[in-house]
């Protein structure tokens, strides 16, 4: 599975690869075979101290707090993300979308389905909108639990994120408010006047889960004004 992940990443010698959570270095070793510039972020000091691979620079740090501006623009970010922090980590990484060429992650299948979900589907929510406003995303392949040691109780999948040429500006506070009341009609979920909905051409009887990322961007622009 790791070799399959490396094949879909298709790194070249000149790529700048950032790996999040290398652990014992199983993926790292395959990446450094094909790329001359690999840097890894590992929060566990013991693991970081043992991961001594030629051509790999280790940053002992928490990826949730790491400033990815430290790396050159055009970086390619990869990793088997820790499932317990995957959602906040994805929000953090999204703020650096203009600096990445692409990102490839192995994640819990449920999270990947939320990332790529379409409006008006059960999995569609704040994470879907926040990421789809910045990235084109594709679920690449599933990963069976038997590929891990020990096997987790959840299914996994690999997803690719590629920054959009023009990212949408979506206010995260607006998303929080909207999806905390996802079953309510918009007129009751968001603080907009009737004339605002008319100006936007949005039916106030719809629910937040029915709106596209483009709709949320237009509402964000109106609220900002």
Residues 106 and 193 in one domain: no
Q: Is the peptide bond prior to 79 cis by the omega test (within 30 degrees of 0)? A: no
Residues 41 and 134 in one domain: yes
State which of 124, 144, 163 marks the end of a domain: 163
Residues 131 and 206 in one domain: no
Instruction: Supply the DSSP string of 14-66, one letter for each residue.
Output: T-EEEEE--TTSHHHHHHHHH-SEEEEEE--HHHHHH---TTEEEEES-TTT-
Supply the CATH number for residue 9's domain. Answer: 3.40.50.150
Average of per-residue pLDDT across 27-35: 95
Residues 47 and 139 in one domain: yes
Residues 103 and 184 in one domain: no
Instruction: Let me know the angle formed at the C-alpha of 158 by 157 and 160, rounded to the nearest 5 degrees.
Output: 140
Residue 123 pLDDT? 96
Residues 200 and 151 in one domain: no
**pLDDT per position as a tens digit, 78-117:** 999 888 899 999 999 999 999 999 999 999 999 999 999 9
Provide the domain limits for residue 176: 172-224
Supply the CATH number for residue 194's domain. Answer: 1.10.8.100
Residue 200: count of CB within 10 angstroms of its CB? 15
Classify strands 75-80 and 16-20 as parallel, antiparallel or unpaired. parallel
pLDDT score of 183 more than 90: no
Q: Which residue has the higher pLDDT, 84 or 19?
A: 19
Q: Which residue has the higher pLDDT, 69 or 154?
A: 69
**pLDDT per position as a tens digit, 129-167:** 999 999 999 999 999 877 777 777 788 999 999 999 999
State which of 128, 163, 198 marks the end of a domain: 163
Residues 178 and 129 in one domain: no
Residue linked to tokens 């990484």: 93
Residue 225 pLDDT? 57
Residues 159 and 183 in one domain: no
What percent of the chain lies above the pLDDT cut of 90?
86
Residues 23 and 131 in one domain: yes
Residue 151 pLDDT? 76
> Average pLDDT, whole number, for the chain?
94
How many domains in the chain?
2
State which of 163, 185, 215 marks the end of a domain: 163
Q: Which of helix, strand or coil describes residue 105?
A: strand
Residues 26 and 72 in one domain: yes
Predicted model pTM: 0.93
Residues 158 and 205 in one domain: no
Residues 23 and 112 in one domain: yes
Residue 78 pLDDT? 98
Average of per-residue pLDDT across 210-220: 97
């Amino acid at each position: 599975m790791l070799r399959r992940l490396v094949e879909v990443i298709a790194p070249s010698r000149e790529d700048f690869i950032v790996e999040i959570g290398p652990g014992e270095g199983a993926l790292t070793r395959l990446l450094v075979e094909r790329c001359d510039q690999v840097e890894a972020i590992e929060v566990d000091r013991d693991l970081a101290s043992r991961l001594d691979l030629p051509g790999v620079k280790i940053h002992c740090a928490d990826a949730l707090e790491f400033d990815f501006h430290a790396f050159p623009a055009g970086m390619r970010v990869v990793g088997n993300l820790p499932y317990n922090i995957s959602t906040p980590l994805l929000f953090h990484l999204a703020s650096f979308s203009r600096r990445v060429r692409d990102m490839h992650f192995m994640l819990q299948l449920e999270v990947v389905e939320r990332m790529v979900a379409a409006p008006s589907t059960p999995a569609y929510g704040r994470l879907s909108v926040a990421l789809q406003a910045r990235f084109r995303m594709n679920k690449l392949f599933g990963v069976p639990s038997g590929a891990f040691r020990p096997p987790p109780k959840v299914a996994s999948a690999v997803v690719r994120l590629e920054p959009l040429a023009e990212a949408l500006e979506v206010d995260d506070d607006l998303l929080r408010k909207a999806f905390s009341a996802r079953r309510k009609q918009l007129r009751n979920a968001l603080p907009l006047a009737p004339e605002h909905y008319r100006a936007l051409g949005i039916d106030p009887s719809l629910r937040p889960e029915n709106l596209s990322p483009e709709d949320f961007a237009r509402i964000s622009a109106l609220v900002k004004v």
